[in-house]
Chain A
Amino acid sequence: MRPEDILLPTPSGVCCKRGGFHIDPTRAVDKALITHGHSDHARPGHGAVLATQETLDIMRLRYGENFAGTTQAIKYGETVDLNGIKATFRPAGHVLGSAQIAVEYGGTRIVASGDYKDVPDPTCLPFELIQCDVFITEATFGLPVFRHHDTDGEIAKLLRSVALFPERAHLVGAYSLGKAQRVIALLRKAGYDKTIYLHGAMEKITNYYVSRGIDLGPLELVRGAKKADLAGTITLAPPSAVKDLWTRRFPDPVACFASGWMRVRARARQSQIELPLVISDHADWDGLTNTIAATGAGEIWVTHGQEDALMHWCTTRGLKARPLDIVGYGDEDESDGVSDTGENAGSPA
């Protein structure tokens, strides 16, 4: 049986006809299996949603109670049978609740990994390697120039800057689901125990992380703080807020951005960032290639990102590779659900 007979790639996500479901579809469908809560993968309006409890909770926080017709929480390691197709959820190490979904039928196993990273993250379970025949991978950072292994070094750089400029406020742009909480947890791990301030758009998700037992130390919304009191502090905000109106409440802010894109200088300069922090929730080049090799898969499907280089690499390793050309993945990074005008960005999203 061809893998395409089990999972069929379409422009709006991969579809399992026999099982009657899609994985991370970019349009509303009857039944969706969702890998994680980022808005490009988890969209509202599906008939039924199967996902981890955390992903369901995050979707509810973002889209409201009626984000789907019905929901079913799947535990890590749990297998569901969908009309003879077996689907198993395993940690992807991307954000809280993120899962890879292994789909099996007739002795063929396909793993849809969603977004993933293979490095430690104090805010979610580590990536779990699954042996498979076909591995569906992202390629957000699918170029050999993307390497973001030294997260502790980047946090140390931020803390040195805070010490050197005690009269300025450091604003760290970070995606509000996952990255923000990871940066806070990393700061705590590095021994930073002062209050960390939050943009209003970060509040709900961050509180949710805390409610799931992730210790993030003293946090406060920046909304109530006086300008002078923000000198020498660190604030987490959505990337689009870091260079706009909202920043006027801070004393001489230092614009920082925690992202894998910061590895490339032109990208950091385009976004007028003064302190780029190379911290990513996606696998870097070494992570992608090591993971692909370790799955033992002979066929690699690439969903989105810099697929050319990754496919070339697969070919040189004797692996069959194809791009999936799914339209709409990767947008979480760009929009983050906060408008650029920023006028209302201080109020809860």
Chain B
Amino acid sequence: MNRFAELLDRLTYEPGRNNKLRLMTDYFRTTPDPQRGYAMAALAGALSFKSAKAGMIRTLITERTDPVLLALSYDYVGDLSETVALMWPADPHHRPNAIPSITDVVETLSTLGKAQLPAQIARWLDALDETGRWALLKLITGALRIGVSARLVKTAAAALGDKDPHEIELLWPGLAPPYTELFAWLEDRGEKPLNTDPAPFRPAMLAHAIEETDFPALDPSHYRAEWKWDGTRIQAVTGLNEDGEPVTRLYSRTGEDISKSFPDLVSSFRLPGALDGELLIMREGRVQSFNDLQQRLNRKVISSKLTAEFPAYLRAYDLLVDGDEDLRELPFAERRKRLEKFIAAMDDPRVDLSPLVPFDNWDQLTAARADPASAGAGDDATAVEGIMLKRRDAPYLPGRPKGQWWKWKREPHIIDAVLMYAQRGHGKRSSYYSDYTFGAWTTEDGEDVLVPVGKAYFGFTDEELIQIDRFVRRNTIERFGPVREVVHEADKGLVLEVAFEGLQRSTRHKSGVAMRFPRISRLRWDKPPAEADRLETLEKMLEGTERAQAGLALPKPKRAARKTAAT
């Protein structure tokens, strides 16, 4: 448990992706089976045992400490598990050989009855040190929350044997902790494990962002175009199990099984096959905003209220498997024909076909991109974030092959905002003020003031970063820990041109708006802050989007949801 605790401890503080990978790979390399396998499962969120409740932990510590000292400590630390880990009284009969391994913990928890749990946890807490206790409590109370995705864990394991993480992803649904076969294969000591899952993930094909300079080399007749939807990419796979019953899994773009999050959509799939498409929230036949979709993402508990209020749909754009026939070698145009037939055969109200965007030349496509509503997207135009270009003859290839698929995003929204606060970044940017909070003007009590409207930490060049950093240091008016407030007056300050993809209402921000994907597109040293944009400009943009989304005389979403829930 101590090595695992040290790894978790390092991972919580380490901001860099590559460094996280190094830490995990090093752990997998130097830790024996089955410890490393259980650790991998814990990190990837693949362990399932009845987790201990916070209340039980609180009872344990209350029995052992003075209530005033506990209250003062909790007040200072701010986190119950951490407080318990730190102030757990030392065991006078401490024996070093009683320190549990992660294997002991996982195996014991999977068999232990509820009644014996508190005493067992107390024994472990007695045996461990501060970091060990902290890690144990994190492990047994549920989510680790250490900023590591399942995908990253698999990538770290793949590095043991120079394997492609995609391969682990493909095997994953057929594997179970402690993954000894997987590690044997990664270390070239064993055969590749077989994935016996009837509905496995296939690595997704990804697109390159197209630049103006790419077009002259491309022949429009070689390509077909589709809308790029502002949803989330998924793969819906259905296969037959040993008993001949259909099994369906929904996977994220990186192959994480997200079926549990979308029970309302899973039930739509019965025909064996593998569909690639966009998960969207639809109401009354219209695609809803990404903000609505976010209500469904990363949820642990899926209530029927949630699925009724934010119903999930699939808009399909590719077919990888039809029945038991793998179509990935076929050209796109062929697969598209098969896809159209497949969707027709499914005949399910939750699944539809992403339409093609007709065009003969780049000018027509440019016009469609600028005005999707008149080019066939109709009412769903607000959910279009650009155009996808796919070569007619492209097979379905894993990864991001050159020249096959292109994405061509719509022009971003732009505003001029004023830099208000700056914070130092992490890793290579650790000494640079590289995270910026910027504001727009508004009127408060008859006076013009700046109100923060967003935060951005990329979009600028290295040279620009140095310039902004210098500006921040020379124009600091106050410091709050790692944050500096910089001068922002009508005639003094730095104007940032900020590009963003969309706006949402937000109750968390004072301004009432939240930007999607904001980044610094230009530094406007030439512009006095007084000439920066006003909050009203953003509000108008927001109203425009909402009007378009609300359509004509449709009922308000809340009422629609209640109606659905009642049926």
Chain A nearest Cβ from B69, distance in angstroms: 5
User: A313 near B23 (CB under 8 angstroms)?
Assistant: no
Residues of A within 8 A of B76 (CB): 143, 145, 264, 306
Main secondary structure of the interface of B (DSSP, over half): helix
Q: Considering the chains assembled together, what is the distance between the CA atoms of A309 and B69 in angstroms?
A: 6
| A165, CB-defined interface residue at 8 Å | yes
Q: Considering the chains assembled together, what is the distance between the CA atoms of A63 and B79 in angstroms?
A: 42
Question: Contact mask B438-471 → A, CB, 8 Å, 1/0?
Answer: 0000000000000000000000000000000000
Residues of A within 8 A of B82 (CB): 145, 264-265
Q: Considering the chains assembled together, what is the distance between the CA atoms of A312 and B69 in angstroms?
A: 8
| B233, CB-defined interface residue at 8 Å | no
| A270, CB-defined interface residue at 8 Å | yes
Residues of A within 8 A of B6 (CB): 157
A145-B87, A147-B86, A243-B430 given; A312·B66 CB < 8 A: yes
User: B26 near A252 (CB under 8 angstroms)?
Assistant: no
With both beta carbons as reference points, the residue of chain B lying nearest to A148 in the complex is identified as: B130
A252-B428, A273-B13 given; A309·B73 CB < 8 A: yes
User: A270 near B481 (CB under 8 angstroms)?
Assistant: yes
Q: Which of B14-22, B185-193, B221-229, B511-519 participates in binding chain A? A: B14-22
Count residues on chain A whose CB falls below 8 Å from chain B CBs.
Answer: 42
Residues of A242-300 whose CB lies within 8 A of B: 243-248, 252-253, 255, 263-266, 268-276, 286
User: A244 near B431 (CB under 8 angstroms)?
Assistant: yes
Q: Considering the chains assembled together, what is the distance between the CA atoms of A146 and B76 in angstroms?
A: 11
Residues of A within 8 A of B90 (CB): 286
With both beta carbons as reference points, the residue of chain B lying nearest to A315 in the complex is identified as: B68
Residues of B within 8 A of A147 (CB): 86, 130
Q: Considering the chains assembled together, what is the distance between the CA atoms of A164 and B73 in angstroms?
A: 35
| A308, CB-defined interface residue at 8 Å | yes
Chain A nearest Cβ from B143, distance in angstroms: 16
User: B69 near A255 (CB under 8 angstroms)?
Assistant: no
User: B22 near A255 (CB under 8 angstroms)?
Assistant: no
Chain B nearest Cβ from A73, distance in angstroms: 40
User: A341 near B473 (CB under 8 angstroms)?
Assistant: yes
Residues of B within 8 A of A150 (CB): 129
Chain A nearest Cβ from B258, distance in angstroms: 29
User: B73 near A145 (CB under 8 angstroms)?
Assistant: yes
Residues of B within 8 A of A252 (CB): 427-428
User: B426 near A272 (CB under 8 angstroms)?
Assistant: yes
Residues of B within 8 A of A164 (CB): 22-23, 26
Q: Of A276, A306, A316, which contacts B13 at CB under 8 A?
A: A276
Q: Considering the chains assembled together, what is the distance between the CA atoms of A157 and B69 in angstroms?
A: 30
Chain A nearest Cβ from B424, distance in angstroms: 6
Q: Considering the chains assembled together, what is the distance between the CA atoms of A114 and B133 in angstroms?
A: 33
Q: Considering the chains assembled together, what is the distance between the CA atoms of A266 and B14 in angstroms?
A: 14
Where the two chains meet, the residues of B that have a C-beta atom closer than 8 Å to any C-beta of A are 6, 10, 12-15, 19, 22-23, 26, 65-66, 68-69, 72-73, 76-79, 82-83, 86-87, 90, 129-130, 424, 426-428, 430-431, 473, 479, 481-482
23 contacts between A and B (CB under 8 A): A144-B65, A144-B73, A145-B73, A145-B76, A145-B83, A145-B86, A146-B86, A150-B129, A246-B431, A247-B431, A252-B428, A253-B430, A263-B130, A265-B79, A269-B13, A270-B481, A270-B482, A272-B430, A306-B76, A309-B69, A312-B66, A312-B68, A316-B66
Ranked 3 nearest A-B pairs via Cβ: A145-B86, A144-B87, A247-B431
Where the two chains meet, the residues of A that have a C-beta atom closer than 8 Å to any C-beta of B are 143-147, 150, 153, 157, 161, 164-165, 243-248, 252-253, 255, 263-266, 268-276, 286, 306, 308-309, 312-313, 316, 340-341
